[in-house]
Structure 1
Amino acid sequence: MFKNKSYIGISFIVLIFGIYAIPKIVDRIKNDEVVKGNRLDNIDLKGSASTAKLETIGPAPKFELTNQDNIKISNQNYKGKVYVLEFFFTTCPSICPKMNLSMLEIEKTFFGNPNFGIVSITIDPAHDTPEVLKQHAKALGVKSTNWNFLTGDKSTILDLSNKGFNLYAGENAKVNGGFEHSGLFALIDKDGNIRCRKDDFGNPILYYDGLDKKGVRDIQQDIKILLDE
């Protein structure tokens, strides 16, 4: 007897749910809104581009250095291209391996796009000759012909990093590896301007954190925006 009453109660609940919910489901199907629930709308799809307008910080500093193929490369080689720029060194025992992985992820995302490139400038040019940089690129598995590893005069490079881009780099005998530098990436547009998004408080972030998954995701999204401009 008790079981029969339970079945009747459950049947009644199912009936009420059907009367309330089915018309709404039908309406959503008619309006092509089946996949637009709040749960799906709030998903941050990796690689989806932000629609926010990126800030223009100013012209990127000019440079002319030697790449891994012993060819002179300047900012003019990237005219009309969107590119990401970093400072690093091949024997870095701390943050560079993580930066390398981040750059490889970015390279993979935009591989084959002739309008995108990467610039990696060593802060240890005494060790990082073109030959060393070429071996480093090979060891990383770099495939893009638009990814240049650059070396040159040390004082010129440190000035470019510290005074030009305001991305800290310097010698420090007390740290492992003998050099220290930021893990930030600069994003430059087709016209040679440094570009970036704003933070949650409306302030330009200036540069992207190459050590952080969110920073890498953000710069990938913003590269897409600049490629479409």
Structure 2
Amino acid sequence: MKKNYTYVWVSFIVLIFGIIFIPRIIDRVKNGTIVESDRMNVPTNSGDLAYVVLNGVKRKVPEFSFVNQDSLLITNEDYKGKVYVVEFFFSTCPTICPIMNQNLIQVQNEFKDFNDFGVASFSINPEYDTPRVLKEYAEKYGVTNMDWNLMTGDSQAIYDLANTGFNIFAKEIPNAPGGFEHAGMFALVDKNGYLRCRVDDFGNPIIYYRGAILEEDGENDHGEKEQIGVLKEDIKKLLEE
């Protein structure tokens, strides 16, 4: 009886831990905020933008090779020497992608006079998003930056790049709106190909930038604030490095 009584208490403690802490952890991951004790550590340096660090190594954009809206082969080498924003999207997305790309158009226009700024958009529905489809999509939204590539290619390579390379969730889910689910986050890359970010008031890294809230709206229905204004500030910092 005593042993069974102990098991009951252990089970109760585990249950309480799950109720209290698991939602907090999930919420921090969704918001792109992870502290040093989690799987990433980001050092700060006199208020400058920090490097994203994993296991003591500064994280760099993995090698990639895809075809863009002009049927040109684009690799990570094409972004060398440029500051750029990374997103994962699909052209038939009925929910967050239109908002994300409206925001990116604003960012594009903000830095239209900078030859060393670009955007890398990777389709998570490459079977449908052919170069022709992506070209029409780019024209519809007003993509004018020559270094804004909307890319398509091998689906597994794109999912690996999203989920492993950038740790930005993307997956085909038939019952999700549009058939796919993905995080509405942007990643920021410096001229040397390193992932960069800022930290919050508590020293926690804000690794990604919310892309699915319009800058003019200020915040969404959940009280989450837009981060496009912050993204613009950080792009300016990296362009000046």
Residue 101 of structure 1 corresponds to 102
Aligned-residue offset at 1:175: 1.2
Q: RMSD of the TM alignment (CA)?
A: 1.0
Residue 219 of structure 1 corresponds to 231
How many corresponding residue pairs?
Answer: 179
Aligned-residue offset at 1:61: 1.7
Q: Distance in 2 between matches of 1:143 and 1:59?
A: 27
SS at match of 1:114: coil
Letter in 2 for 1:225: K
Q: Distance in 1 between matches of 2:150 and 2:71?
A: 10
SS at match of 1:59: coil
Aligned-residue offset at 1:112: 2.7
Contact map agreement 1:112 1:144 (CA 8 A) in 2: no
Q: Distance in 2 between matches of 1:168 and 1:200?
A: 26
With structure 1 as the length reference, what TM-score do the two structures score? 0.76
Aligned structure 1 segments of 4 or more residues deviating by more than 3 angstroms? none
Task: Report whether the alignment pairs 1:185 with 2:180.
Answer: no
With structure 2 as the length reference, what TM-score do the two structures score? 0.73
Letter in 2 for 1:226: L
Aligned-residue offset at 1:77: 0.3
Letter in 2 for 1:56: Y
Letter in 1 for 2:70: D
Residue 5 of structure 1 corresponds to none
Aligned-residue offset at 1:103: 0.4
SS at match of 1:202: coil
Which residues of structure 2 form unaligned runs of 5+?
A: 1-45, 53-58, 216-225
Q: Describe the superposition over 1:97-150 as per-residue Cα deviations: whole angstroms up to 9, x where unpaired.
A: 100111001001001311100011000000000010001001111111111000
Residue 197 of structure 1 corresponds to 198
Which residues of structure 1 form unaligned runs of 5+?
A: 1-50
Residue 50 of structure 2 corresponds to 55
Q: Describe the superposition over 1:161-212 as per-residue Cα deviations: whole angstroms up to 9, x where unpaired.
A: 0011000000111112000100000000001000000012111111111123
Letter in 2 for 1:163: T
Aligned-residue offset at 1:62: 1.7
Aligned-residue offset at 1:52: 2.4
Structure showing greater Rg = 1
